[in-house]
Amino acid sequence: MLGILLGLILGFGITPYTANSEAVDDALSATALLFFLTGVALVASAYVGAFFLKEHSSAQTIMVLSHLGVTVAFFVAENVLYTFSKPSMNNVWRVAPLYALGDGLRNVTAANAKYITLPNGTSTKMRLHALAPSGVYEHLTYLGTTACVFFVLLFCLEYLRTVKAHSYNAAPDTTDAASMTDTDVIAENARVTALSSTTDNAVVIDQLRKVFNDLFFRAEPVKAVKGLSVALPKGECFGLLGVNGAGKSTTLKMLLGEVAPSAGRAFLAGRNVVSQHNQARTLVGYCPQFDALFDLLTVREHLQLYAALRGLRGSDAKRAIAQLISKLRLTSFEHVLASHLSGGNKRKLSVAIAVIGSPPIIILDEPSTGMDPVSRRFLWEVISDLSTHQRESTVILTTHSMEECEALCSRVGIMVSGGLQCLGSIQHIKQKFGHGLVLDLKLRVPEQAATEAMAATLPSTLSMDDMIHWCGRLRKPSRASLLVPDHATGFFLAHLANTEGAVDVASFCSWWIGEDMFDAIAQHLHAATNGAIDVVFREPALVQFKLRTTLSVAFSVVEAAKQTFSIQEYAVSQTSLEDIFNAFASKQERREEPSLTSGCCGCFKKARSTRNNQYHALSSP
Predicted TM-score (pTM) of the model is: 0.65
Give burial (CB, 10 Å; 0-12/13-18/19+) of 54.
exposed
Rounded distance between C-alpha atoms, residue 479 and residue 321, angstroms: 67
100, 143 contact by CB (below 8 A): yes
Rounded distance between C-alpha atoms, residue 165 and residue 213, angstroms: 10
396, 363 contact by CB (below 8 A): yes
- What phi, psi does 466 have (nearest 5°)? -65, -45
- The end-to-end CA distance of the chain, in Å, is 82
175, 225 contact by CB (below 8 A): no
How high is the pLDDT of residue 120?
Answer: 60
Residues ≥6 apart with Cβ < 8 Å to 364: 287, 351, 354, 383, 395, 396, 397, 398
In this model, does residue 355 exceed pLDDT 60? Answer: yes
Give the residue ranges of DSSP H helices in 56-136: 56-83, 90-93, 97-111
Residue ranges of the chain that CATH labels 3.40.50.300: 284-432
C-alpha gyration radius of the chain:
36
Rounded distance between C-alpha atoms, residue 429 and residue 448, angstroms: 46
In this model, does residue 239 exceed pLDDT 90? Answer: yes
545, 593 contact by CB (below 8 A): no
In this model, does residue 541 exceed pLDDT 70? Answer: yes
Strands 533-538 and 222-232 come out as unpaired
Q: Count, in order, helices (H) and strands (E) of the chain.
A: 24, 20
How high is the pLDDT of residue 46?
Answer: 87
**Residue, of 379 and 179, whose pLDDT is higher:** 379
In this model, does residue 72 exceed pLDDT 60? Answer: yes
Rounded distance between C-alpha atoms, residue 150 and residue 46, angstroms: 9
Give burial (CB, 10 Å; 0-12/13-18/19+) of 440.
middle
How would residue 238 be classed by pLDDT, with cut points 50, 70 and 90?
very high
Rounded distance between C-alpha atoms, residue 28 and residue 20, angstroms: 8
How high is the pLDDT of residue 617?
Answer: 32
Which neighbouring-strand residues pair with 412?
239, 424
How would residue 481 be classed by pLDDT, with cut points 50, 70 and 90?
very high
Amino acid 12 reads F
**Torsion of the alpha carbons at 26, 30, 35 and 37, rounded to the nearest 10:** 140
Q: How far is CA 344 from CA 374, 382, 390, in A?
A: 11, 16, 26
Find, among 284, 257, 289, 290, the residue nearest to 395 by Cα: 284
Q: What is the pLDDT of residues 581-592, one digit of tens each?
A: 888 888 876 654
User: Please, how many CA atoms are within 13 Å of residue 350, restricted to the half-sphere of its CB?
Assistant: 25
How high is the pLDDT of residue 620?
Answer: 33
Residues ≥6 apart with Cβ < 8 Å to 176: 207, 209, 226, 227, 419
Which neighbouring-strand residues pair with 533?
547
Q: What is the pLDDT of residues 544-590, one digit of tens each?
A: 888 888 888 888 888 888 878 888 899 988 888 888 888 888 887 66
**Core vs surface per residue 6-45: b (16+ CB within 10 A) or e:** beebeeeeeebbbbebebbbbbbebbbbbbebbbbbbebb
- Residue 518's H or E segment, with its range, is helix 505-528
How high is the pLDDT of residue 231?
Answer: 93
Evaluated on CA atoms 307, 310, 316, 320, the torsion sign reads: negative
- What phi, psi does 436 have (nearest 5°)? 105, -165
284-432 falls under which CATH superfamily?
A: P-loop containing nucleotide triphosphate hydrolases (3.40.50.300)
Share of the chain above pLDDT 70, in %: 80
Interaxial angle between packed helices 299-309 and 314-327, expressed in degrees from 0 to 180 and rounded to the nearest 10: 130
How high is the pLDDT of residue 478?
Answer: 92
**Core vs surface per residue 604-618: b (16+ CB within 10 A) or e:** eeeeeeebbeebeeb
Give the residue ranges of DSSP H helices in 112-171: 137-159, 165-167
545, 617 contact by CB (below 8 A): no
User: Please, how many CA atoms are within 13 Å of residue 88, restricted to the half-sphere of its CB?
Assistant: 7
What does the angle CA 486 – CA 492 – CA 494 come to, to the nearest 5 degrees? 70
Q: What is the pLDDT of residues 382-426, one digit of tens each?
A: 888 887 777 778 999 998 888 889 888 999 999 998 889 999 999
Rounded distance between C-alpha atoms, residue 422 and residue 183, angstroms: 8
How high is the pLDDT of residue 468?
Answer: 92
Rounded distance between C-alpha atoms, residue 422 and residue 585, angstroms: 12
Find, among 561, 286, 291, the residue nearest to 439 by Cα: 561
